[in-house]
């Protein structure tokens, strides 16, 4: 396997240089139309190439949403492969939003598809779902660690339906709390080595007091915290600072619609990315 620095180290270096913003690449049909593009694989490719030109080397992390590529079948997957490859060449980190979660050999197959060296769909990190049990993610967590990549585990999401599962409790605590504990344990070795771990969490920027209400301390994770919901979905920088408090240095505010809405002009897209997160 190719030797590369651990994902947490590479991410920390990228955000120190370019800031913590994660730009979502979500080519949904309405956005293609707004950019004057056809809603077909050609329009998808033109959209993706514009995003690469606008953001590669200018933001620390981009997050392509796999669903909006998959809906075009093999032609869309080809565009996704091209997009990941282009960002890879540029040195810009990619977080592929696929939310995979399964068991045993099937989860191992997903892990190889997205986290193995040489895979055409390999990204620097992927999103994963722990709701078949945190232990079911072991193949992805292990392979990510071996290849210097990362995983972001759904923990406290902003969608209203999420609370039904994530906030559920028993005498040992909440489901979300168990997910956070699993990530903390997976990152323990990195903590002892003095760097950020490769197992991150997805914590919605609009969850309000949910973490506090559930007794969850996000400062203990020692992994990156992806915060979708920043920008057009309602959370501003002040809200993110209030929500995460002392955990803020690990937070990656994620914005897609607010930044992409500035397109298709390259300069406008880049300016929107630069201006999205005000910094300290």
Q: What residues are annotated to the active site?
A: 99
Are 138 and 145 contacting, i.e. CB atoms less than 8 angstroms apart?
A: no
- CA pair distance 240, 225, nearest whole angstrom: 11
Concatenate the DSSP letters of all residues of the chain into one string: ------HHHHHHHHHHHH-S-EEEE---HHHHHHTT--SSHHHHHHHHHHHHHHHTTTSSEEEEBTHHHHTTTHHHHHHHHHHHHHHHHHT-EEEEEEEE---HHHHHHHHHHHHSTT-TT--SEEEE--TT-GGGGHHHHHHHHHHT-EEEEEEE-SSTTHHHHHT-EETTEEHHHHHHHHHHHHTHHHHHHTS--SEEEEE-TT-TTHHHHTT--GGGS-S-EEEETBSTTSB-HHHHHHHHGGGGGGEEEEESHHHHTT-SSHHHHHHHHHHH----
């Amino acid at each position: 396997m190719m030797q590369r620095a651990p994902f947490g180290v590479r991410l920390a270096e990228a955000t120190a240089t370019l800031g913590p913003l994660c730009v979502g690449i979500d080519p949904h049909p309405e956005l293609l139309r707004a950019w004057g593009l056809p809603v077909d694989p050609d329009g998808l490719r033109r959209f993706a190439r514009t995003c690469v030109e606008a953001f590669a080397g200018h933001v620390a992390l981009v997050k392509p949403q796999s669903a909006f590529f998959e809906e075009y079948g093999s032609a869309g997957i080809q565009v996704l492969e091209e997009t990941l490859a282009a960002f890879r060449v540029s040195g810009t980190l990619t977080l592929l939003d696929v939310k995979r979660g399964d068991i045993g050999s099937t989860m191992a197959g997903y892990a190889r598809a997205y986290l193995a060296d040489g895979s055409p769909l390999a990204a620097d990190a992927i999103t994963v779902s722990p709701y078949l049990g945190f232990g079911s993610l072991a193949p992805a967590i292990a392979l990510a660690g071996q290849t210097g990549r990362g995983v972001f585990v759904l923990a406290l999401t902003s969608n209203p339906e999420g609370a039904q599962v994530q906030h559920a409790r028993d005498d040992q605590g909440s489901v979300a709390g168990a997910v956070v504990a699993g990530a903390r344990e997976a990152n323990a070795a990195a903590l002892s080595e003095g760097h950020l771990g490769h197992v991150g969490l997805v914590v919605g920027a609009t969850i309000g007091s949910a973490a506090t209400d559930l007794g969850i301390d996000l400062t203990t994770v020692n992994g990156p915290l992806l915060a979708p919901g920043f920008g057009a979905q309602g959370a501003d920088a002040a809200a993110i600072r209030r929500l995460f408090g002392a955990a803020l240095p690990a937070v990656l505010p994620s914005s897609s619609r607010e930044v992409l809405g500035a397109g298709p002009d390259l300069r406008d897209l880049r300016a929107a990315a630069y201006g999205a997160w005000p910094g300290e």
